[in-house]
């Protein structure tokens, strides 16, 4: 089975509308405790605080993660094959900045985008480089390029800031209501059970919405990665390997059939569903020419592993 072009655009539109709906729901949930705390002024102050938090966190968390993981900068002479792949991916994604790869010496199998589409890059671990072949790595890199292309790091920073602020405001509202207990016990004031229950549920709802947004952006990044590489099977193969690595502890606890409610607590969608959607895209003629064709060459993926740049470099780098 293969998707037609209008089906690809329909999937993109559906994912985009879901993102807007989830973000609007996050804003609404955050507004509830803010309104109970200070009325309309509390709602406005909440949104101002979120904007400030997103602005301040737009670059610091990524650099702090890189600093704490002893990351180094993979230059072109370190990994010429990966940079040739990234050059094509960046061009197809319409990213004008030069590709930058960061290297983390950990054995974990992971890759993540840092920064934004104007000043960002992709971090990749040594474990991933040793486990995946070039075709699979191209799919993983395309997935992260899609996150940069759509500024997903900024979107998720906004969602995380809303969730944190919802929790903080909810705590203040609950403490304020508890301070009214003497008046309630004296019969001078009726205890606001309904507002308290609504406010108490706000942090849980916000967290679930944030997780749903993360899963939505992962589906979108998978779809865009397939259109960037022209090779949905490469990313599907990589996801299968990552699932066997990361899902082993869940299998040990729950067996091969995890409980359905567990999916609601994941930041990523079920891997089987992601693979199914990728395989549905197939090899239709509207995909671009594949970046990597099998069999891949036997050259080493990286020629030299860089050392850590040090925390001061990552934190103060602009």
Supply the residues annotated as catalytic.
144
Torsion sign, CA atoms 62, 67, 72, 75: positive
The pairs formed by 49-57 with CB atoms below 8 angstroms and a separation of 24 or more are: 49/161, 49/165, 50/158, 50/161, 50/162, 50/165, 53/157, 53/161, 53/164, 53/165, 54/154, 54/157, 54/158, 54/161, 57/157, 57/161
Residue in the structure block whose two tokens are 């500024």 = 151
Residue in the structure block whose two tokens are 């995890």 = 258
Residue in the structure block whose two tokens are 């990286």 = 302
Torsion of CA 279, 282, 287, 289, to 10 degrees: 100
The counts of H helices and E strands in the chain are 12, 4
Measured in whole angstroms, how far is the alpha carbon of residue 75 from the centre of its chain? Answer: 25
Distance CA 311, CA 67 (A): 4
Query: How distant, in Å, are the alpha carbons of 24, 54, 59, 164 from that of 47?
Result: 12, 11, 20, 12
Distance CA 71, CA 144 (A): 17
3-state secondary structure of 50: helix
């Amino acid at each position: 089975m293969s998707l037609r072009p209008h089906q690809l655009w329909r999937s993109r539109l559906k994912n985009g509308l879901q993102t807007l709906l989830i973000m609007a729901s996050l804003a609404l949930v955050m507004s509830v405790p803010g309104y109970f705390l200070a009325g309309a002024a509390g709602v406005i102050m909440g949104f101002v605080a979120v904007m400030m938090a997103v602005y301040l966190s737009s670059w610091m968390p990524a650099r702090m993660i890189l600093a704490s993981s002893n990351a180094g900068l993979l230059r072109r002479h370190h990994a010429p094959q990966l940079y040739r792949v990234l050059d094509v991916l960046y061009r197809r994604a319409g990213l004008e900045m030069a590709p930058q790869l960061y290297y983390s010496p950990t054995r974990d199998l992971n890759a993540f985008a840092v920064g934004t589409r104007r000043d960002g890059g992709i971090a990749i671990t040594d474990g991933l480089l040793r486990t995946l072949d070039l075709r699979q790595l191209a799919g993983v890199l395309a997935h992260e390029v899609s996150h940069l292309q759509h500024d997903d790091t900024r979107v998720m920073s906004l969602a995380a800031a809303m969730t944190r602020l919802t929790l903080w405001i909810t705590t203040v509202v609950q403490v304020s209501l508890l301070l009214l207990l003497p008046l309630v016990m004296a019969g001078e004031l009726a205890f606001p059970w309904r507002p308290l229950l609504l406010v108490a549920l706000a942090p849980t709802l916000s967290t679930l919405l944030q997780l749903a947004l993360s899963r939505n952006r992962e589906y979108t990044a998978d779809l865009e990665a397939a259109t960037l590489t022209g090779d949905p099977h490469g990313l599907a193969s990589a996801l299968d390997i990552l699932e066997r690595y990361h899902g082993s502890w869940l299998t040990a606890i729950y067996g091969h059939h995890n409980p359905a409610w567990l999916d609601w607590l994941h930041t990523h969608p079920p891997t089987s569903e992601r693979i199914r959607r990728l395989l549905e895209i197939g090899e239709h003629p509207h995909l671009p020419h594949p970046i990597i064709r099998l069999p891949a060459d036997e050259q080493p993926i990286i020629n030299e592993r860089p050392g850590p740049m040090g925390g001061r470099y990552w934190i103060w780098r602009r």
